[in-house]
Structure 1
Amino acid sequence: MGSEDEDERGFFSERNVVPARPPAARAVAKPHYAGHRERLRDRFVQAGADALADYELLELLLFRAIPRADTKPLAKALIDRFGSFAEVLGAPPRLLGEVKGVGPAVALEIKIAAAAAERMLKSTIRGRQVLTSWSAVIDYCRAAMAFETREQFRILFLDKKNALIADEVQQTGTVDHTPVYPREIVRRALELSSTAIILVHNHPSGDPTPSRADIEMTKLIVDSARPLGISVHDHIIIGKSGHASLKGLQLM
């Protein structure tokens, strides 16, 4: 018996133990949008923004605020909610936050892009003769005001060569009314040594058609400014659907 026990112990002690192989690593499933970001960036680099749909350009903006997720559904949801790329940029943070998936970081990224676009457009008219760059003036005013949810009354102050000296929002009102004080407008023009001004305000309703109050207020400002040698070149009304010029409509 002893020898048999020893043989058995020897058998077990000398047996070569083959280490167990680790389970085969499972292939990690790639998300369905893997590579999409790189492809989208490549299209932008190679073909420019015109090659991208509005939601795709918005996706590029969202990449910075959302580093690891599919941004296409959110970009499309924003376009559906506000109507266009421009209206998404122009939307106030409060309304942006109503879209599921938009947090403070996303809203901030969108507003930074909007500010950059507005600053670029403003730089195209600053120091230049505004009356010879009228389309640039309209583009800037639309970027700055078209999608505001409250009325703003803005004044472009010009020097004797009709170059832009200053651009100031004088008043902010409600959804359909802004208080305007002609004396304050004239006083500010004198402070800036401005000899001409362009009046601009927005209609949050989207329709830029001048109201009777718009026409009467414009005439009052013209009459207040003229005796002091200040010309009112135009009053532009900005809406989502376009703009109206009171001078072009022969209403001033």
Structure 2
Amino acid sequence: MSSERPGVARDRERPTDHVTTPRPTTPASPAPAPSARRLATRERLLEAAVEVFAEEGLQGASVEAVCQRAGFTRGAFYSNFSSKEELFLALLEREFARRAANLEAKTAEIAPALRDHQGSLDPERAACYITEFLAPDGDTANWYLLETEFALLAMRDPESAPGYAELLTRSYASIAGLVEAAIAAAGRRFTLPAEHAVALLSGEYERALRIEALGAAHTADGLAALPTRISELLFAITEPLAA
């Protein structure tokens, strides 16, 4: 007679790989929308950051200085942003959206005048419209300095680089549509993808800003000569719509 306790033999005969019936999963609930108070806190931090970054630069500014300017504690800061770099990225995204909205308004404003030329716009007259289109609507030079600082930081920071690269891609895409619409109103079209054309035009614009930041604005590469250079480039990379 076996000395094993009743049930032990039966337990040994059970398969070791048990089949478990999966429990039904409950779909994750969407994250609740931020409260009005939280949004107001975030906005105050962004506004304070604009002032602090303008005064101290990106590297010189500190989380403490932003909190002090906004009138909040560090806890309020870190409940909205994980770092100074994330704060600046949010600020830059807001600034890019503002620029796109401004360009959209300018495109709508000058489009009727461009259509009046019925495709006969010459480079000299185009330079006048470009001057209106590129007219600064804020502290452009200071923003360029901050963006340059952040670009250098992002190149060395694996955590900041992906978000910054994605923001640049989205920004170029949104601006490309606006520039393409303005070109079409003038009776022309790009001879290469709009995003590529805008990258070329942005390169000229950034070079002029760099010269401006170096204190040589009135040289041949400065902002004063930018409309003429952009006009020449536009006529080189566009063609009449009827072509």
Determine if the TM-score, normalized by the shorter chain, exceeds 0.5.
Answer: no
Greater helix content? 2
Q: Does 1 or 2 have the higher relative contact order (CA < 8 Å, sep 6+)?
A: 2
Greater strand content? 1
TM-score normalised to the size of structure 2? 0.32
TM-score normalised to the size of structure 1? 0.31
